[in-house]
Structure 1
Amino acid sequence: MKRKWLLAPACCVLLFTLTGCGKTVEEQIDTGVASAQTVFEENPQQPNKTIGKIQLFVPSGYEVKESEDLNNLIIKQGNASYILFVNYHEKEDSNLHYELLKKDPSKKIIKEETVELDGAFGFSAVLEYDKEQFELIVSSGGVKMSTISEDKNIDQKLVDMMTIVRSVKIDAEKE
C-alpha cells in the first residue's frame, strides 16, 4: 500500500518535468530561425532526387509530388505540405523573395533573419497566418519554400526546409 502512495507523487513530478521540457512557440521560432541560418552557412546536402531540371536533397520522411508545373513542387511529410518554388532566372545573390515579402503590408512578420555568404543571399521568416497557425518561409537566391504550420516542430521544419532549399541545383543541360 505504501508503494502506491510513493509512486503517485513520483509520476506527477515526472509528468510536470516532461511537460516543462516542451519549447514554447517563441522558443521554437527563435531556435528555428537561428538554426536555419546555420544550415544556410554550412555546405549544402548533395541532391538525392531529380525532378525535371531540378536536383534536390529530400530528407528521410519527405516525398516530392511531381506536377506539371516544374517551377512549383509539392513536398509532403505526413500530413504537412510544403511548396518549393524555383525561379530559374534568379541567381544565388537574388533577394527578390525577401523584397516581395517586405513590401507586402498584409504579411505579419513575427521573426525574420537574412544571411549572405560567398555571394549567396538567403532568409528565413515566420509570419502570423491566423491565431493558431504560422507561415514558415525560407529562401536561398531564387529558390523559396513555404508551409503553413501549427505550433509544433516549427524549429525542425525550418531546418529541414533550409536544408532542402540550399541543396537545389538546376541542371543546365535540360534548360
Structure 2
Amino acid sequence: MKRKWLLASACCALLFTLTGCGKTVEEQIDTGVASAQTVFEENPQQPNKTIGKIELYVPSGYDVKESEDLNNLIITQGEESYILFVNYQEKEDSNLQYELLKNDSSKKIIKEETVEFDGAFGFSAVLDYDEEQFELIVSSGGVKMSTISEDENIDQKLVDMMTIVRSVKVLEEKE
C-alpha cells in the first residue's frame, strides 16, 4: 500500500513539474510581468555585493562585473548576459526610462506594466526583439536592467531582474 502512495505522489510531482515547464510564452510573459510588479512592492533584498559605487543583491548563480562605462554593470548567469544601467542623477520616483521606452517607435512592446509604490516608480516590459527572441526590461527609478532572451524562463528572469534592480543602492561620496 505504501508503495502505491509513493508511486502516486511521484507521478503527481512529475505532472506538476512538466506542467510548469510547458508554459506558453504568453503565460510566461503574463506571469513574469505580474510577478515583477509583486517583487517591486516587497522589501528589497539586502545588497550582498559592492561594485564601484553600487551596492546590490546578486542572486545565487549570477555573477557581476564592472564594464568600461561606470554607469553599467554586466551580470551573467551561465550563457545569459544582462546589462544593469544606473543613472546616478535620477531619483526613485523617476519615470525617465519608461518615457524613453514609450517614445521609441522602433520598440515593439508585447506587454508592459508600471508600478508606483512608497514613492518609487518602476516598470517591467517584454518587447519583440526578433522571431525567436525577446527583450526583457525592468526598471526602478534611475536603475534599469535588460537582456535579450529566448522563450524560456521569461517569468523567472523578470523576477530575478526586478529583485536585483530593487536592491541597488548608490554609495554616497565621502567629503
**Under TM normalisation by the shorter chain, which class is it?**
0.7 to 0.9
Q: Which has the larger radius of gyration?
A: 1
Alignment check: 8 A CA contact 1:120 1:140 kept: yes
Matched with 1:131 is 131
Work out the CA distance in 1 between the residues paired with 2:16 and 2:82. 33
The 3 A distance-change label for structure 1 pair 34 and 16 is closer
Superposed CA RMSD = 1.8
TM-score (ref. length: structure 1): 0.88
- Deviation of 1:20 after TM superposition, in Å, equals 4.8
2-structure distance, mates of 1:17, 1:45: 29
- Which deviates further from its counterpart, 104-113 or 64-73? 64-73
Is there any run of 5+ residues in structure 1 with no aligned partner, and where?
1-14
**Contact conserved, 1:53 with 1:174, CA < 8 A, in 2?**
no
SS of 1:128's equivalent? Answer: strand
Aligned residue identity for 2:156: Q
Separation in structure 1 between the aligned mates of residue 120 and residue 15 of structure 2, nearest angstrom: 45
Q: Secondary structure at the match of 2:151?
A: coil
TM-score (norm 2): 0.88
What's the CA shift for 1:66? 2.1
Classify the secondary structure of the residue corresponding to 2:64.
Answer: strand
- The amino acid of 1:29's aligned partner reads I
Give the drift of 1:70.
1.9
- Find the residue that maps to 1:47 and give its secondary structure: coil
Instruction: Map 1:1-175; keep pairs closer than 5 Å.
Output: 20-21=19-20, 22-173=22-173
Q: Which runs of 5+ in 2 are unaligned?
A: 1-13
Number of matched pairs: 162
Alpha-carbon displacement from aligned partner over 1:76-132 (angstroms, at most 9, x marks no partner): 000000000000000000000000000000100000000001110000000000010
Q: Identity percentage over the alignment?
A: 86
Q: CA deviation at 1:23?
A: 0.4
1:17 and 1:165 map into 2 onto residues whose CA distance is 30
